[in-house]
Amino acid sequence: MSKIPLRRLVPLACVALALLPSLVRADDTPVTLNLIPLPNARQQQDFRIKAITDMKFKARDGASEEEVQQLSAKLGAIKMPLTMSMQMRQIVQTDKADAKGRTPLTARIERGTMEMRTGDGDLVPGVPQRGMPAMQFSALIVDGRYENIRLSGEGTAQLPPDMLEGIFRKSFDALAKMNGATLRVGESVDMPLEMNLPIPNLPAGSNVGKVKASYTLAKVEAGVAFFDVKATMDLKLDLPTPAGPASAPEGAAPAAPASLQMVIGGGGTGHMQLRLADRLQLHNDLDMTMALQMPLPQGHTLQMNLQMQMDSDGKALPSANGKAAKVSATR
């Protein structure tokens, strides 16, 4: 057996002893997951989204040659795939908790940038090249839940108020259910989001679906928890259609139904880095693949395949009094 000089064993032993505490903590010390901001916090998230979309029309059974040519012409002038790039910024601020323990929260989503290009690299004609309109929302954090949610800003005009508020409320409720979970390395927690969105002129329950994100704790280093993320999506949305003529000539395309069901399915994987001391999401990324099918009023179908890459980086900002919050590497 070869002999290892003592002078080599000593450094190796020192390194092993230095690493041992961190290895033990990673295996044995539980982490409590909480994504709700602490009082007196001010945080910024910069989001980047890239989506590559390939779409085509599928003609209805029995469609005439003229109808098929018309469908082909709608996309013929635009080379696929379409590439959309968007950036936006969100700033969240919380104040001091009141005597009842309620923490006021305000958030601002600033207008960012957006562009959509064809497979040739040209800007898509007729598509406004601008980011999502600015939006603000406020709420009270009460016992780990968001209450008294209020929305305002130009962005709120993009969807019916009931639908927009429902999306925010369901998202916050799902977040609150996940918070407080205690995990060890290798353990997971799910954030299921049940969707049942109100659509004008359609009965309740017309739009249902599930979005689920699963967070698995991969490791903890220097007070930062690293998670592997898996997401799935299964949505069925009933969309109202414009009223058509009461009857159609013989041989013409069938009359449009009162609503058309759009089906969206897909999934993806990603990561999250959470600084435990101040609940700051230092980084998020998610790659998703989705497929969409939407029937058209004349019985044709629009088919879309979409690959989306989303990522964000966060940082703590100085509070209103100009002082940055202290952060210690704790759990």
Residue 142 contacts residue 155 (beta carbons within 8 Å): no
* Model pTM score: 0.79
Q: Tell me what the pLDDT averaged over the chain comes to.
A: 81
Instruction: Categorize the per-residue pLDDT at 6 as very low, low, confident or very high, splitting at 50, 70 and 90.
Output: very low
Place of tokens 């407080």: 180
Predicted pLDDT at 24:
39
Tens-digit pLDDT profile for residues 211-270 = 899 999 999 999 999 999 999 999 887 776 655 544 455 555 555 556 678 899 999 999
Comparing 280 with 15, the larger pLDDT belongs to 280
Predicted pLDDT at 243:
54
Instruction: Categorize the per-residue pLDDT at 115 as very low, low, confident or very high, splitting at 50, 70 and 90.
Output: very high
Predicted pLDDT at 22:
44
Share of the chain above pLDDT 90, in %: 46
pLDDT at 286 over 60: yes
**Sign of the four-CA dihedral 199, 193, 154, 102:** positive
Half-sphere exposure of 124 (CA within 13 A, CB side): 22
Instruction: Categorize the per-residue pLDDT at 27 as very low, low, confident or very high, splitting at 50, 70 and 90.
Output: very low
